[in-house]
């Protein structure tokens, strides 16, 4: 058996105190195979054994704390629910604290002695302003072996089986401490260039590893934590920027050399309104990219209603002026069709041929579309993911635009790249789901980003109101008034898969109730939900779009993209069951015309704290970015739409909603490094090169970046 060259690769069972049986437990329970795995399994909290806390300083925010003082009294008490518990009064030099035990009364009375000095150990909780410590660990001061230790004690996540093998935190501490004592700085070589660690006053890899497990004080804990967080994000950025640099060299696009008659004619004679400043700005950014041989890879972020479609169209016109084709892909048929209609409408009586393609386009129409694409006769094609199918072949695809890009997988998007033999199309992906800045840095760090941060003029801010069931009659009255004024109304019900039947029943009941208040033939109501056939759905939707129905009762299928400017009221039922970004998307369906729009959030009386916060956020702001930030804080990155697909967010310590300063620093430094040394060839970047190679081996998917 060959000796591993690096101690970090040594199987965990060879670590002192582990052995084959515990090694197996480490592997099975925590996926810890090597010394490195063991070291990188960080504690999730610490116990401060370095000192005794004072009762007067305690808050329920404290972690486990250690106190020294006298146990004054013990008594059995009956709570209101006639549950018996034991209450103790404990005193130190600074004050008094209640100790509480809900179990083991007789054992406590037998073992604990009032009037004696104890070391007490536990967590403080706050019940209606009264501080107490439930189930403290108690050790007689006179019998205590060690009263204070030199470092914080790490606490590791574990399992029952680990505990049974003596691998609870206490056992792990011993093993890790022993292991760390045998390591030298050469075993944990520096992974960052010296000029970076010096400039940012970052501790070394070696120190970070020692301190993350056994910090002597808060400062060491922080230094180690920050270093590890920095490194985590720094290498994600290096990875993204390297792949971007690689793409720049490997792929070539056709530069759009001119702005020609098609674009100019449209811009000067067909544009229905003035572009907003933000639209002009992003068009300039896109124009600059399109003029180059290097492939554009740009993300266009703009809130619902900010006017991304026209930006897409203007970009596509630039392609036509340069003898190239363009495509626009949308995630749903309804949305794709709407884009198609918008574009054909706007370019009517111009010499531009626009075609539509989706799974439901069949027969002669399909053949014509495919042929037109192949010959170059069709300039613009709008469609669903049917566009990426292999038999869709272009004459010369210069620009591919993907709307609501998070609805597509990386692979789906990537297949658009392969539509030409000897060059790749420029790529513009668009999203109306605002992404918090730090999340965008992580997920789209290899893309250029354009942001439309301004709505077209004349939009009235949507009024958002939270109402309880008791206001139902008032709501119906309001709906009547607005319908009488010619407005249309959405009523949306949640549809969550696990309770699909129940949800559909809710929708059905709601629909029947509305029928009573808004009876035909004076009123007409559309119903759309996910269980309907696509054709029926479209027909119902169409009735609403054309104004034949005044109310649309729906599940969230209407979430994406639908544009009915005359609809000015969005009623959301069971609002507490929707996520923030979904609520924001739904609200974006109204406020598209000149009328004052309303979003009415109906809820039950019982709402969780988080639900309440979501609703408060919706009422407070219509700014998508603010909502996205709040969403990130409430739910963490793992749940945010579109993030699951990527291993990019597997951070051990970094918290992307809290650690923004660290992320900015890491991003900026990574940017500068790759700008100056895109292949990491310089000597000063040797450590980065080594680390990247190591990470590549560990994360196989690194090789296969979009
Ligand atoms: P989204 O960014 O959500 O895709 P759209 O492109 O659908 O937004 O635009 C929303 C609405 O705003 C459309 O009805 C569109 O015609 C209109 N619009 C877009 N840009 C402007 C503008 N500069 N001035 C006035 N109306 C605009
Ligand atoms: Mg859109």
| pLDDT tens figures, 63-78 | 788 899 999 999 988 8
Name the residue of 271, 283, 456 whose CB sits within 8 Å of the most ligand 1 atoms, as the mutation to test its pocket: 456
Which residue has the CA at smallest separation from atom 16 of ligand 1?
A: 307
Q: How far is the CA of 305 from the centre of ligand 1 (A)?
A: 5
Q: Is the pLDDT of residue 706 over 50?
A: no
Mean pLDDT, residues 667-686: 94
Q: How far is the CA of 310 from the centre of ligand 2 (A)?
A: 9
- pLDDT band with cut points at 50, 70 and 90 for residue 250: confident
Which residue has the CA at smallest separation from atom 11 of ligand 1?
A: 305
Q: How far is the CA of 560 from the centre of ligand 2 (A)?
A: 8
CA 119 to CA 196: how far, in whole Å?
Answer: 44
Position 29 scores a pLDDT of 94
Lowest-confidence segment of 107-121, 304-318, 488-502 by average pLDDT: 488-502
Which residue has the CA at smallest separation from atom 22 of ligand 1?
A: 456
Ligand nearest to the CA of 404: 2
Position 405 scores a pLDDT of 72
pLDDT in tens, 333-389: 888 998 999 999 999 989 999 999 999 999 999 999 999 999 999 999 999 999 999
- pLDDT band with cut points at 50, 70 and 90 for residue 689: very high
Lowest-confidence segment of 229-233, 331-335, 339-343, 600-604 by average pLDDT: 331-335
Count how many residues are written for the chain. Answer: 706
pLDDT in tens, 477-527: 999 999 999 999 999 998 766 566 777 788 889 999 999 999 999 999 999
Q: How far is the CA of 302 from the centre of ligand 2 (A)?
A: 9
Q: How far is the CA of 64 from the centre of ligand 1 (A)?
A: 55
Name the residue of 275, 277, 305 whose CB sits within 8 Å of the most ligand 1 atoms, as the mutation to test its pocket: 305
- Phi and psi at 464, nearest 5°, equal -110, 130
Which residue has the CA at smallest separation from atom 5 of ligand 1?
A: 307
CA 599 to CA 615: how far, in whole Å?
Answer: 11
- pLDDT band with cut points at 50, 70 and 90 for residue 701: low
Which superfamily is assigned to 463-621 in CATH? P-loop containing nucleotide triphosphate hydrolases (3.40.50.300)
CA 695 to CA 483: how far, in whole Å?
Answer: 61
Ligand nearest to the CA of 278: 1
Q: How far is the CA of 464 from the centre of ligand 2 (A)?
A: 22
Question: Residue 169 in contact with residue 154, Cβ under 8 Å?
Answer: yes
Domain boundaries, the chain: 51-149, 463-621
- pLDDT band with cut points at 50, 70 and 90 for residue 648: low
Query: Interhelix angle for 500-517 vs 472-484, to 10°?
Result: 60
Residues within a 6 A CB radius of ligand 1: 273-276, 279, 302, 304-310, 432, 456, 563, 592
Which one is predicted more confidently, 529 or 322? 322
Lowest-confidence segment of 187-196, 240-249, 435-444 by average pLDDT: 435-444
- pLDDT band with cut points at 50, 70 and 90 for residue 141: confident
Instruction: Please give the C-alpha separations between residue 466 and each of 394, 629, 702, 705, in angstroms, as whole numbers.
Output: 50, 21, 46, 44
pLDDT in tens, 476-487: 999 999 999 999
Q: Is the pLDDT of residue 704 over 60?
A: no
Ligand nearest to the CA of 456: 1
Cα atoms in the 13 Å half-sphere on the side-chain side of 125:
8
Ligand nearest to the CA of 452: 1
Name the residue of 271, 309, 597 whose CB sits within 8 Å of the most ligand 1 atoms, as the mutation to test its pocket: 309
- pLDDT band with cut points at 50, 70 and 90 for residue 412: confident
CA 37 to CA 26: how far, in whole Å?
Answer: 10
Q: How far is the CA of 332 from the centre of ligand 2 (A)?
A: 12
CATH domain 51-149 topology: OB fold (Dihydrolipoamide Acetyltransferase, E2P) (2.40.50)
The token pair at 589 is: 């369906």
Which residue has the CA at smallest separation from atom 25 of ligand 1?
A: 456
The pTM of the full predicted model, rounded to 2 decimals, is: 0.78
Give the closest residue to 183 by CA, choosing from 6, 2, 42: 6
Give the closest residue to 87 by CA, choosing from 96, 128, 56: 96
Position 639 scores a pLDDT of 57
Position 634 scores a pLDDT of 84
The token pair at 297 is: 């890879």
Which residue has the CA at smallest separation from atom 15 of ligand 1?
A: 307
- pLDDT band with cut points at 50, 70 and 90 for residue 60: confident
Q: How far is the CA of 499 from the centre of ligand 2 (A)?
A: 30
Q: Do domains 51-149 and 463-621 have the same CATH topology?
A: no
Which one is predicted more confidently, 201 or 648? 201
Lowest-confidence segment of 39-43, 280-284, 642-646 by average pLDDT: 642-646
What dihedral do alpha carbons 522, 528, 531, 533 form, nearest 10°?
90
Position 415 scores a pLDDT of 80
- pLDDT band with cut points at 50, 70 and 90 for residue 427: very high
The H or E element spanning position 489 is: strand 488-492
Q: How far is the CA of 307 from the centre of ligand 2 (A)?
A: 7
Q: How far is the CA of 383 from the centre of ligand 2 (A)?
A: 14
CA 289 to CA 629: how far, in whole Å?
Answer: 29
Give the SS3 label for residue 582. helix
Position 316 scores a pLDDT of 98
CA 268 to CA 280: how far, in whole Å?
Answer: 14
Which alpha helices (DSSP H) does 546-685 contain, by range? 580-587, 609-620, 624-635, 660-676
The token pair at 400 is: 């591919």
Ligand 1 atom having least distance to the Cα of 276: 23
Q: How far is the CA of 335 from the centre of ligand 2 (A)?
A: 8
The token pair at 572 is: 């959301």
Lowest-confidence segment of 303-312, 361-370, 666-675 by average pLDDT: 303-312
Question: Residue 496 in contact with residue 523, Cβ under 8 Å?
Answer: no
């Amino acid at each position: 058996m060959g000796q591993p060259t690096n101690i970090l690769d040594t199987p965990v069972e060879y670590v002192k105190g582990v052995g084959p049986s515990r090694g197996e437990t480490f592997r099975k329970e925590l996926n810890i195979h090597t010394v490195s795995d063991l070291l990188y399994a960080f504690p999730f909290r610490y116990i401060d054994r370095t000192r005794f806390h004072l009762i007067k300083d305690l808050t329920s925010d404290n972690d486990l704390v250690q106190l020294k003082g006298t146990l004054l009294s013990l008594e059995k008490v009956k709570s209101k629910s006639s549950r018996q518990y034991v209450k103790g009064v404990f005193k130190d030099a600074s004050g008094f604290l209640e100790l509480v035990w809900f179990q083991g009364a007789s054992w406590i009375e037998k073992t604990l002695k009032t009037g004696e000095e104890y070391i007490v150990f536990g967590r403080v909780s706050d019940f209606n302003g009264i501080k107490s410590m439930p189930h403290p660990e108690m050790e007689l001061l006179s019998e205590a072996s060690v009263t204070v230790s030199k470092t914080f004690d790490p606490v590791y996540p574990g399992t029952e089986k680990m505990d049974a093998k003596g691998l609870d935190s206490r056992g792990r501490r011993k093993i890790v401490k022993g292991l760390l004592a045998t390591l030298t700085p050469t075993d944990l070589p520096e992974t960052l260039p010296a000029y970076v660690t010096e400039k940012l006053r970052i501790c070394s890899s070696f120190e970070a590893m020692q301190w993350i497990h056994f910090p002597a004080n808060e400062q060491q804990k922080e230094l180690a934590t920050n270093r590890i967080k920095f490194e985590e994000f720094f290498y994600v950025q290096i990875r993204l920027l390297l792949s971007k640099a690689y793409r720049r060299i490997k792929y070539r696009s056709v530069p759009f050399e001119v702005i020609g008659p098609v674009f100019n004619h449209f811009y000067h004679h067909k544009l229905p309104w003035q572009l907003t400043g933000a639209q002009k700005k992003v068009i300039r950014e896109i124009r600059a990219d399109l003029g180059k041989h290097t492939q554009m890879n740009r993300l266009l972020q703009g809130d619902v209603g900010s006017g991304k479609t026209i930006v897409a169209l203007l970009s596509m016109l630039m392609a036509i002026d340069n003898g190239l084709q363009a495509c626009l892909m949308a995630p749903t048929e309804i949305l794709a069709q709407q884009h198609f209609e918008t574009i054909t409408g706007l370019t009517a009586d111009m010499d531009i041929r626009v075609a539509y393609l989706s799974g439901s386009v069949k027969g002669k129409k399909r053949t014509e579309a495919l042929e037109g694409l192949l010959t170059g006769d069709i300039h613009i094609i709008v469609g669903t993911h049917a566009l990426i199918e292999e038999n869709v072949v272009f004459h010369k695809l210069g620009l591919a635009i993907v709307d609501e890009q998070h609805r597509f997988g990386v692979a789906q998007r990537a297949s658009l790249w392969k539509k030409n033999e000897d060059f790749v199309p420029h790529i513009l992906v668009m999203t109306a789901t605002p992404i918090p800045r730090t999340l965008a840095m992580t997920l789209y760090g290899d893309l250029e980003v354009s942001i439309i941060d301004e709505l077209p003029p004349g939009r009235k801010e949507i009024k958002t109101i939270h109402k309880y069931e008791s206001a139902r009659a008032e709501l119906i009255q309001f709906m009547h008034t607005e319908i009488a004024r010619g407005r249309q109304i959405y009523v949306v019900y949640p549809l969550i898969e696990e309770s699909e039947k129940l949800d559909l029943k809710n929708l059905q009941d709601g629909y029947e109730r509305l029928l009573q208040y808004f009876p035909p033939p004076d009123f007409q109501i559309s119903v759309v939900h996910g269980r309907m056939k696509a054709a029926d759905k479209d027909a119902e939707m169409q009735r609403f779009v054309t104004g034949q129905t005044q109310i649309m009762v729906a599940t969230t299928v209407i979430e994406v993209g639908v544009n009915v400017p005359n609809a000015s009221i969005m009623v959301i039922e069971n609002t507490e069951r929707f996520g923030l970004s979904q609520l924001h998307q739904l609200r974006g369906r109204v406020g598209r015309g000149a009328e004052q729009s309303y979003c009415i959030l109906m809820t039950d009386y019982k709402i969780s704290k988080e639900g309440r916060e979501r609703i408060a956020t919706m009422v407070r702001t219509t700014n998508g970015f603010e909502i996205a930030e709040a969403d990130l804080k409430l739910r963490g990155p793992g749940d945010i739409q579109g993030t699951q697909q990527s291993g990019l967010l597997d951070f051990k310590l970094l918290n992307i909603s809290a650690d923004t300063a660290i992320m900015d620093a890491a991003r900026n430094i990574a940017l500068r490094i790759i700008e100056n040394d895109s292949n990491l060839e310089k000597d000063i970047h040797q450590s980065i090169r080594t680390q990247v190679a190591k990470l590549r081996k560990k994360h196989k998917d690194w090789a296969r970046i979009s």
